[in-house]
Amino acid sequence: MSKKLDAFLDENLSELKEQGLYNEIDPVEGPNGPIIKVAGKELINLSSNNYLGLATNEDLKQVAKDAIDHYGVGAGAVRTINGTLDLHVKLEEKLAEFKGTEAAISYQSGFNCNMAAISGVMDKNDAILSDQLNHASIIDGCRLSRAKIIAYKHSDMEDLRAKAKEATESGLYNKVMVITDGVFSMDGDIAKLPEIVEIAKEFDLITYVDDAHGSGVTGKGKGTVKHFGLEKEIDMQMGTLSKAVGVVGGYVAGKQNLIDWLKVRSRPFLFSTAVTPGDVAAITAALQMIIDSTELHDKLWDNGDYLKNGLKELGFDIGESETPITPCIIGEEKLTQQFSKRLFEEGVYAKSIVFPTVPKGTGRVRNMPTAAHSKEQLDEAIAIYEKVGKELGVIN
């Protein structure tokens, strides 16, 4: 083995641990529900993106089992050879219905999706206006496209407009895209889509919304674009199928010609084996549940407001979240990790989030109540937060 590699890894791992930036990964011993078991210990789970509790839904589990019995455990090929099952076609029709668009294309993951779709449309002769707090997968998708990346200040519409004007009037680029998360996952705030659309119309920008944390959560479950009634104004709606939908995968929804193009030009679609039959069947059924009823959505928001109010009353800094995502911003990285560790010891699973996921000095514990939590579980979690917060001097 390379001595240089060994030295590089040992030195940098030690440095991360010293700075409180090394993340320990905890295997979960069972389903990812409101209560999870880690290292033999039962904990109230506030770290899951299983927003609607669908990852453990009994009806969806049965749908997946039935699909496996009929189709097998794998699709067997990439989509363009013979890996497109009729299940995939039905899923993409359902996704288009869900997002209110002409068509949709599905991918193996949300990360894969941003890598595929951004680089499938943009190239080295183009520019992308990207919110400074966009998700890592957006950043990497932009880099892969080789387009000029122009970051604008987070949700700062004056800065976006100035940079859109400069980019389009420069004559340097064939196309200019503005790309943003719909819901920002670390702070829980919502993108200013109406203002973004106004600017996009003024300068003929391509609009791309990553709604990974909005689909199933905002717009009565239909997402952030639906929340603002902008289905006809956004060119590319991207989302994941692993959070509120509860399974795995990603998608882009938009006009038929966009989807036709991505099916012949987006590399992860062309060169990765299709999503498995059990997953596809469960996703399609989950989408139908979200379309048919807002019950889980409403329960999620009720629980989110309940936890948010409880932590705020105790004096925790929960930022400016506009969604059930509830950060407790601690600041210093080592203290943040210590806080998370003490929560674990007392019975709450809430992982610390530190650099590079968030900027240095803004470490936080990200709390995510779901539709599956009971008020009794949330009350117990709030009491533990009070105990640990006072013990470590985070609150008075």
- Active site amino acids: 185, 213, 243
Q: Pairing state of beta strands 41-45 and 127-131?
A: unpaired
CA quadruple 59, 64, 66, 67: dihedral positive or negative? positive
Could you give the CA distance from residue 48 to residue 388 in angstroms, rounded to a whole number? 21
User: Measuring CA to CA, how many Å separate 167 from each of 164, 175, 205, 321?
Assistant: 5, 10, 10, 31
CA quadruple 355, 356, 358, 359: dihedral positive or negative? positive
DSSP-assigned letter for residue 394: S
| Conformational region of residue 145, where left means phi above 0, alpha means psi within -120 to 50, and beta covers everything else | alpha
Could you give the CA distance from residue 44 to residue 389 in angstroms, rounded to a whole number? 17
For tokens 């992860």, the residue is 268
Let me know: does 378 contact 345? Beta carbons within 8 Å.
Answer: no
Tokens read off for 264 = 């012949």
Tokens read off for 386 = 């009070």
Let me know: does 134 contact 180? Beta carbons within 8 Å.
Answer: yes
DSSP alpha helix (H) spans, the chain: 3-18, 58-71, 86-99, 110-121, 136-145, 157-169, 193-203, 224-227, 256-265, 267-271, 277-292, 295-314, 333-346, 375-391
Tokens read off for 396 = 């008075």
CA quadruple 252, 258, 263, 264: dihedral positive or negative? negative
Cα radius of gyration rounded to whole Å, the chain: 22
- The number of C-alpha atoms within 13 Å of 23 and in the hemisphere containing its C-beta is 13
Tokens read off for 259 = 């989807």
**Selection from 342, 313, 344 nearest residue 326 by Cα:** 313
